[in-house]
Amino acid sequence: MKKYNVAVIGAGVVGIEMLRVLKERNFPVQDLRVFARSSREIDVDGQKYAVEAVSPEGFKGIDIALFAGTEGEKGAAVTFAPEAIKRGAVVIDNGADFRMDPKVPLVVPEVNAADVRKHKGIIANPNCSTIQMVVALWPIHKKAGIKKIIVTTLQASSGAGKAAVEQLKEETVIISSRGFTSVHVNVENRAMPQQLGFNVFPHIGGFSECDYTSEEWKLVHETHKIMHDKKIKISATTIRVPVRTGHSESVYIETAKPITADAARKLLSRAAGIVVIDDPAKSLYPMPKDVEGRDEVFVGRIRQDCFEKKGLWLWVVADNLRKGAATNAVQIAECLVK
């Protein structure tokens, strides 16, 4: 089997997951290099990695460059992706800079793997909340056609990077130490716009057109691009919740053709990359604590709308650092080498 020289750019939470996923999935790596803003050594599950300061010259001989696009490395792809491409690498970028560029494929392998072939040196990895939603909805869209999506996301702190996870931890410790006499706390160097410990708030990204946040618009525009269908009406509300890792989504869809909950359940059970856990009477449904470290998208609470025969509800959960970022990027690389 041919092996490839691979670079991971970014040593934050997503970059570390990329290193794990490359190893776990036995990606055919000849030489692996890790780049970040500054040189240092990191330890990932007992394995040491030498991190080099990123530079244009560092991409010489690299076949595939995985840009983590996470905290501490935002914007790195804008500066260094063209340099990597110049030196013969194919760039897979987890950041938002190239996602809506019409010349750049936006890929979720379970949905539109064939789009990888259209690349001109760079392939974009979608937003974490978009990835898990389209994986869950694509089999239904192929079977019955989806006309409308209404989604509410409940997104974990790790989706905002290491500093947000630390904020949640600090707030939780302080409130717990008070014996829950007050849930109000104000920590220094807060990474998020509001307190997250023992709280939720509907604010991810900046507010823009129609008072949607940028995160909400990502769900709209990215889904249209990945599913090659701009006619789907999509409305979203994105909420930050006090969970370490694992995004959850409450998704309502209306289809062009009627499809029963049982039919959808069977369809999803057979689909690649999906695990169905759906027995509410026994309190069985996907939860963030159970999907952490997993690469699949988990679906449950599949049920018919009582008032609309073409309406379905689904509950969708996935590890935002794995399938929502690192795993999807490595899967794109796997499509490339095939």
Dump pLDDT digits (tens) for 289-325.
999 999 999 999 999 999 999 999 999 999 999 999 9
Instruction: Tell me the per-residue pLDDT of 62-73, one tens digit each, with 9 for 90 and over.
Output: 999 999 985 434
Query: Mean of the per-residue pLDDT values for the chain?
Result: 96
Catalytic positions, please? Answer: 128, 247
Domains of the chain plus CATH, in order, are 4-125+325-337 (3.40.50.720), 130-320 (3.30.360.10)
The better pLDDT of the pair 249, 78 is held by: 249
Position 254 pLDDT exceeds 50: yes
Instruction: Work out the number of other CB atoms within 10 angstroms of the CB of residue 205.
Output: 15
Residue 188's pLDDT is: 85
Helix (H) or strand (E) holding 12: none
Helix, strand or coil, per DSSP, at residue 335? helix
Q: Which residue has the tokens 């997250």?
A: 196
% of the chain at pLDDT higher than 70: 98
251 vs 149: CA distance, rounded Å:
7
Position 213 pLDDT exceeds 60: yes
72: which DSSP letter? T
* 163-172, 180-189, 239-248, 294-303: range with lowest mean pLDDT: 180-189
189 vs 219: CA distance, rounded Å:
29
Strand arrangement, sheet containing 4-9:
40-44, 47-53, 29-36, 4-9, 64-67, 90-93, 122-124
Q: Which residue has the tokens 């996870």?
A: 165
Token pair for residue 119? 């690349």
56 vs 39: CA distance, rounded Å:
15
Residue 74's pLDDT is: 53
- Spell out the alpha helix ranges (H) of 151-300: 162-177, 214-227, 261-269, 288-291
Q: What average pLDDT does range 18-41 have in this prediction? A: 97
186 vs 171: CA distance, rounded Å:
8
Please report the DSSP string for 105-172 in residue order: -B--HHHHGGGGGG-SSEEEPPPHHHHHHHHHHHHHHHHH-EEEEEEEEEE-GGGG-HHHHHHHHHHH
197 vs 126: CA distance, rounded Å:
28
Reported confidence tier of residue 75, pLDDT bands at 50, 70, 90: low
Sequence letter at residue 286? P
